[in-house]
Amino acid sequence: MTDVWSFLFLNGEFAPRSSILDGLTLEQVAARPGEAPHSIYEELWHTMDWQKIVLERDETAIKHWEENVSFPPSPAPESEATWQALVDSFLALSERAVELAQDQAWLETEEGADNPGFTWRNALEQLAVHNAYHLGKIVSLRQVLGCWTPRPKRDGSQ
């Protein structure tokens, strides 16, 4: 059986996360088709910022959220390298979540003093839901932009 945390963070239920973020041009990641409020870049930037808050307690990311800056100032990354670094960081931190979750004792410890009774398991479950929501938005944007080709499931179906 597949590890539930790998399933939630890397490759389960829908397309592998790396596939969702692969093969995009700068033009595609910056586009806001129709009435879309955010670009693919903005969606991933937001998702990565939240992952850094939950998993790393990243002070810069926390400051963004405290200042109500939950999306970047521009719909486009500065360069291809900026986009690729964001993708790589998101995937690496997703893998880190899976690694951390292998420690059952850690999962059951309280996540922080601010939320008594709220465990790291709870935090990871909420993070997985948040990621899935925004990755779903990225797939929708790719569909509208015409740059999404669903990959067959392991059993050959769509």
Q: What are the tens digits of pLDDT across the range 56-111?
A: 988 888 888 888 888 999 999 999 999 999 999 999 999 999 999 999 999 999 87
Range with the poorest average pLDDT among 76-85, 115-124, 140-149: 115-124
SS3 95: helix
Query: Among candidates 137, 27, 26, 121, which has minimal Cα distance to 82?
Result: 26
Q: Judge whether 100 and 55 are in contact, CB under 8 Å.
A: yes
pLDDT of residue 151: 64
Mean pLDDT on 6-17: 90
CA-CA-CA-CA torsion for 97, 57, 22, 77, nearest 10 degrees?
180
d(CA 31, CA 94): 25
pLDDT at 158 over 50: no
C-alpha of 17 from chain center:
8
Domain map (residue ranges) of the chain: 4-70+80-145
| Count of alpha carbons within 13 angstroms of residue 128, beta-carbon side | 22
Q: Which residue has the higher pLDDT, 106 or 117?
A: 106
Q: Quick one: fold of 4-70+80-145?
A: Four Helix Bundle (Hemerythrin (Met), subunit A) (1.20.120)
pTM over 0.85: yes
